Amino acid sequence: MNIPNLITVLRVLLIPIFILLFYLPYEWSYVASSSVFAFAAATDWLDGYLARRLEQSTPFGAFLDPVADKLMVAVALVLLVQEHANLWLTLPAAVIIGREIVVSALREWMAEIGARAHVAVSNMGKWKTAAQMLALVILLGNPANFTFWVLLGYALLLVAAGLTLWSMLQYLRAAWPHLRTTVEKK
């Protein structure tokens, strides 16, 4: 267990705190839950930076880091869908969560056939993550009213969903030759 892995574990441990703050019946709970989420999102960058800088990358960290990210984002999206209960948030949330399931399954399958490198993380994922995290911080920090900030959060989430779909198509396109040859061999 090294410092980057401890930071990743901290991110997972912050999820129940974030949920508790979200549901507190106080006006300040929006800012509190958004702040915990923003802190957790920042630790995602920090643990990766430290792992590279200190040369402390581990198989455990490589496994847990994306799991922590997906858990944190999925929980935030589910909470926000329940709170906002509208198409502007529900549709991009479904796209983002659905894409994570599809790409995770695709990566697992590609690893089983020895072609994992064909579905590696792309730079587009960094833009998607930035738009997604900023949208979630904004939406978590504000009540579900149609204010400038909430509309900005919706817009950023729609951008993230669009980039999410695009990146999923790129992953599927890269995997398609392997998917076709496997099907044809059966």
**Per-residue confidence in pLDDT tens, the chain, 186 aa:** 899 899 999 999 999 999 999 999 999 999 999 999 999 999 988 988 888 898 888 888 888 988 999 999 999 999 999 999 999 999 999 999 999 898 888 878 777 777 655 555 667 778 898 999 999 999 999 999 999 999 999 999 999 999 999 988 888 888 787 777 654 554
Dihedral sign from CA coordinates of 141, 147, 148, 152: positive
The dihedral built from the CA positions of residue 141, 147, 152 and 154, taken in this order, carries a sign that is: positive
Fold type of domain 3-180? Four Helix Bundle (Hemerythrin (Met), subunit A) (1.20.120)
User: Which residue type, as a one-letter code, is found at position 101?
Assistant: I
Residue that the structure tokens 């099907």 belong to: 183
Amino acid at 181: T
User: Rounded to the nearest 10 degrees, how much is the dihedral formed by the CA atoms of 23, 24, 28, 31?
Assistant: -30
What pTM does this model have?
0.87
